Structure 1
């Protein structure tokens, strides 16, 4: 799959769907990669979307420099990718960290995003000590030290039994995340507080959350929904944090129902 130099880093990306299709940019969560969107691709391309997905800075096949990142930096990466691909404006969907980047794009680059889908995300992640703890854990033991706890947050207990093979795939995504990239993005999330700015977002926005998400909870999603005037809200039953992977049909239906209106 191709790479592109964007905002001082090399980003790994993939494009699926018709060349003249409506551009849709997908952004991954912390500790995953562009394959987290595999369950959505067939339906989105069949609906006529030109799906552009990429590995965020610090993840997958993209560059993973040392040091703290910021949500502003990650948003500039996304804009630089669009620039490099010659895409003036795209629909956008991001999950977790990707949704945090989406909020920043809606505030700082509203001319580049036609619509926003903010999935299983938050405008602010409190408890600084939690992020310090995750960083220390990965510094000491690598991604293997956090993979089990991550799976517990991302999938409900029932789905951990039902989707064992799929979860093995997700486990490999987590383990394949460069530790320095994970740490850099942890610092970006730790420093983020967008509650005072996202009220200025004035493009169509859908907020999606898994009903059982223990990480970025429905309360976090409803806060975003309340702050972004005119936004829509969708709650996915029997889904935790990785709702697009755990309940792909319901997630994709919500996406398309929003994008096609």
Structure 2
């Protein structure tokens, strides 16, 4: 996809981002799942830009952003967002993140709450274990020759069998997307997930928060969304009959929940 712009973070990492929608609308920022690019939101852009200026970005290690060597941290991924907002001169956004993007969203709600108006946390978790699983994935990525095997794994985790059979065009597009991800960048991101633990600090989030869970999610279980909802006072929990990429599997329902929470008619 063209129309990306770039800025460089304080630690020297080039980050790709793009805007869609009218410049005079409030800004809604979208953050991706691990192993995807900002194109994972393509199906939502037409609906969202009726009401918002949408800001998307490739997380470090993904898409057209740089993929530095070594372990990333959730703190660094969160500061990437703050520095991006500083670079484009935006004080505050609505923030919607899915999976790893939702982990970044939790970090922002805790440590950079002044930059967030309303917060949407989708198919995410405050903590994932065991650490040994992520260590094995990192070791595998160090010796991988291509990303086909990883793509197969992610597709199995993201979509139900019925969708893999009946919506091959969509699923194949995501399979190809995963294959474009840098193994080094994915390994760094796995380390950030491995080392994350927001189970205690999540209660510090005071921004109005919508939590969207997947009933059949085997990665970030619906029970993980329950934990987040319990921790964040006044939050709203919605469970869609989805696996992991709820915005892709149920795009209309997903956008409807987002727009309703952001106080627009779907």
Using the size of structure 1 for normalisation, the TM-score is 0.97
Which of 94, 103, 106 pairs up with 1:103? 106
Does the 8 Å contact 1:12/1:54 carry over to 2? yes
Q: Which residues of 2 match residues 84-123 of structure 1 at below 5 A?
A: 84-123=87-126
1:198 counterpart = 2:202 = yes
Q: Residue 111 of structure 1: SS of its match in structure 2?
A: helix
Which of 139, 155, 162 pairs up with 2:159? 155
Give the CA RMSD over aligned residues: 1.0
Does the 8 Å contact 1:22/1:50 carry over to 2? yes
The 1-side partners of 2:72 and 2:156 are apart by 26
Match of 1:50 in 2: 53
Does the 8 Å contact 1:138/1:145 carry over to 2? no
> How many pairs does the alignment contain?
259
The 2-side partners of 1:22 and 1:33 are apart by 23
Match of 1:66 in 2: 69
Match of 2:179 in 1: 175
Using the size of structure 2 for normalisation, the TM-score is 0.95
Match of 1:215 in 2: 219
Deviations 1:95-127 (A, max 9, x none): 000000000000000000001100000000011
Match of 2:237 in 1: 233
The 2-side partners of 1:232 and 1:259 are apart by 12
Uncovered stretches (5+) of structure 1, i.e. residues with no partner:
none
Uncovered stretches (5+) of structure 2, i.e. residues with no partner:
none
